[in-house]
A and B are shown apart, each in its own frame.
Chain A
Amino acid sequence: MLPDTERWFVPPDLQLHWHCYGETCLVFNPRSGRTHRLEQWVMDLLEALRQGPVSLSALMEHLGLSQEEREGAREKFNRTIWELDRLGLIFPAGL
């Protein structure tokens, strides 16, 4: 589980490219040269992280999840953040 004090962001100089087809988006990361298939809600999450460093709780709040929904979604968000970090699409703030 990621600590809630940790904040994440998409660096301003990371210019992601994407095309969306219905609820699926393909994102090209120019730093890695790799293309990833993401669901639309993950794109919304990336968009939120482009605005600046955000913690997991603040992110879920930003995306409009109620307190009850946040508890249920925390594990999914944790896993997604971990994956996006692993793929080099987001970075922890303060490194």
Chain B
Amino acid sequence: MKIGDHSLEQLDGQLREAGLCWRTGPFILRLKADIPQLTPWLHTMYGEHPVVTEPEIIDFHLQMRRGRGLRRWWRPQVHFLLDGNILFAPFPLDHAPPLFEWGLNLCIAGRANHFLLLHTAVVAKGGRAMLLSGVPGSGKSTLCAALVVKGWRLLSDEFSLVHPDNGMVYPLARPAALKNQSIDLIRNLTTENLIGPAFPNTRKGTVAHLKPPAASVQAHEQPAQPAWVICPQYRPDRPAHLTPLAPDHALLRLGANAFNYETRGASGFHAIAALVNRCSVHHFFHDNLEEAVVALESLSTRDIQPSPSETSS
């Protein structure tokens, strides 16, 4: 059964009472919530995700709860809790969906240390993954969403879950967060209604989410082989252009942007080195989203074999 198979009333009741348990990528979470604004959003955005009825292990016990005290009468707020503990300052009640997404990101970043967690978006085609690595504001999420709208498989817009032993990237197809101008840019790429409601005035400006495609969610047990690492940077007046990035620079860059590089220790170092060795790695400047997609589509049809590192301990 999928979350979308519930009626809104059923879903709301489940969230309020026992909590709703579902699987996203390799994780199982249980969410209890008394936030009516959250229910229709979950119904749409996580509609394709499988409900788990009798979980043996739950990775994240989550709760979203209205703020208490007098404040709730004139400025209602919502808290995000992990294992009964409030993780950060409350959000306005009508920002419950972005709070849920950021809260879940924090849970994964803090606990999923059996993976090397790279801060990249990941899409795939034909079983080969393209990692999009960039600092906030570089446009990686926008590019990720554009590729997904054009038919690429979504693995994640936030994490590369790299298995340290086999080097594969495991999927975590959740709603992709779009911010500010990116929302209309992606909306204009498709006639389908794939983008959820916009949440203005969040800490990151206006945020809306791209619904993960059904095929991407259903492929939650199929990892992909990393083939490309792209470091995108939107720059006005810079036509789409790929420039090879030296492997040592790529390794340091990916390590610096990982959530748990130090925690993973030497295995994280070797896992990133192996990933860089097997991938074609590029800087990518662009000033037009559609042209950027065409350039990356073109790259994906080529097979570039990078030179591996010469020695290692």
Q: Interface residues, chain A, CB within 8 Å of chain B?
A: 15-22, 24, 26, 28, 30, 33-35, 37
Contact = CB atoms under 8 A, between A and B. Distances in A.
Interface of B: 246-248, 251-252, 255, 261-263, 265-266, 269-270, 273, 309-313
Contacts of B252: 26, 35, 37
Contact of A24 (B248, B266, B269, B273): B248
Given A19-B251, A37-B248, A30 B312 contact: no
A5 to B, nearest CB: 31
A35 B269 contact: yes
Contacts of A35: 251-252, 255, 269
The interface centre, meaning the residue of B251, B266, B269 with most chain A CB atoms within 10 A of its CB, is B269
A19 B270 CA distance: 8
A17 B265 CA distance: 10
Contact of A19 (B263, B265, B312): B312
Nearest to B265: A30
A19 B255 contact: no
A17 B247 contact: no
* Majority DSSP secondary structure for residues of A touching B: strand
A88 B247 CA distance: 25
A20 B310 contact: yes
Contact of B310 (A21, A34, A37): A21
Contacts of B246: 21
A20 B269 contact: no
A33 B312 CA distance: 17
A88 B167 CA distance: 30
Given A15-B266, A26-B252, A34-B262, 14 more contacts: A17-B266, A17-B270, A18-B311, A18-B312, A19-B251, A19-B309, A19-B311, A21-B246, A21-B309, A26-B269, A28-B269, A30-B265, A35-B251, A35-B252
A17 B309 contact: no
B264 to A, nearest CB: 9
B260 to A, nearest CB: 10
A8 B187 CA distance: 62
B180 to A, nearest CB: 34
5 contacts: A17-B313, A18-B311, A19-B269, A19-B273, A30-B265
A17 B261 CA distance: 14
Contacts of A30: 265-266
Contacts of B270: 17, 19
A24 to B, nearest CB: 5
A44 to B, nearest CB: 12
Contacts of A22: 310
A17 B311 contact: no
A22 B307 CA distance: 10
B269 A17 contact: yes
Contacts of A37: 248, 252
B292 to A, nearest CB: 28
